[in-house]
Amino acid sequence: MTALPVSDPRIAVHRSTLSDGRELLYFDDADTTLPPGRAVDERELAPRPATAEMRQDPLSGDWISIAAARQHRVVLPPAELDPLAPQSPGNPSEIPSRYDVAVFENRSPSFGPALAAPDADPAAALAATREIGIERTLPSLGRCEVVCFSPEHEGSFGTQSISRARTVIEAWAHRTAELRALPGVQQVFPFENRGEAIGVTLGHPHGQIYAYPYVTPRTQRLLDAIATAGPGLIADVVARELDGPRVVLRGEHWSAYVPFAARWPIEVHLVPHRHVPDLAETSLAERDELAVVYRRLLRGVDARYGTPTPYIAAWHQAPVHEHRDEVRLTLQLTSPRRAADKLKFLAGSEAAMGAWIGDVPPEAQAEALRAAIEGVDA
């Protein structure tokens, strides 16, 4: 899995290195106006933080990365000190050159920069993460990357042009392929947090990608459900949903629906019509349509209440080394917004017990979202 299965020749990729050794990649739009050359990062930076430690909760089996370096992250800086903007004389940011889309290793990662030994056995490493014991620790191996959707200071994925959205999707596919090939990586997770209500600390349009050294708890619960119900569980659920009343958007290759048992006031799942385990395995035609369909979905979500909606857009991908024929790529978009001026807060039942109570009937939300999506431009 060291080579990208499918790559778009219209989107050029330029590799570079930041002054502290972190990797930086530029992805050029198919219709870019940028020259191919890129500036050198001439900053004097402190050494990268040591790789964090993971500690296991023996009562759940969950791993918690104790990443103290994250305490030093920049929080809501002024536009002139935007760390994700191209460098300027007054702003020694993370990206030396003007760009269309840029991806770089996080300066304060939750996982990495250390990786497993190149000859490490992935199956043995995965089995070790599933053992249960008291005061077990493991290094937080892996990688965390930042994906900048635009050099502009404000916006989100849904505010980008179709060409730019397509470039971001290509970056996700490229990075998924390369990150899943790194030693010790068990799952790759691209995501976007949007809005201060979600906890966003930078208004710059961007997302992140985590490459975990274990299969995440949410995915492990899915694997447990598949083990109980059978390997066709996801295919059966998708088929039922796409033939049901909660579909909000249909395309040739992708469709979106509000799930039957939605947890959040706004919750939409976007799925490919065929089985693919992750973004790296999508075709160019699927990526081209995704740029249109996903952008329209996000604009429809904003149109639901007429103002930008806070959300988490989470690309659930199959584990790297197991169940790739059973776990289908799914975008799960969730928002706590339950009315124009109200948010759902996770209080006692949800936060403490994981026992969810839905505030909005999924069928009612699907109907409202369909109407909102129909009212936005493609």
Cross-strand partners of 318: none
First to last CA, the chain: 35
206 is catalytic: yes
Given the residues 174, 206, 253, 316, the one annotated as active site: 206
The CA-atom distances, in angstroms, between 20 and each of 2, 99, 123, 156, 207 are: 25, 20, 32, 28, 22
Distance CA 185, CA 215 (A): 9
The Cα–Cα gap between 326 and 223 comes to 9
The amino acid occupying position 190 is: P
Name the β-bridge partners of 79.
none
Is residue 6 within 8 Å of residue 145, measured between CB atoms? no
d(CA 225, CA 368): 30
**One-letter identity of residue 341:** D
Which residues are catalytically annotated? Answer: 206
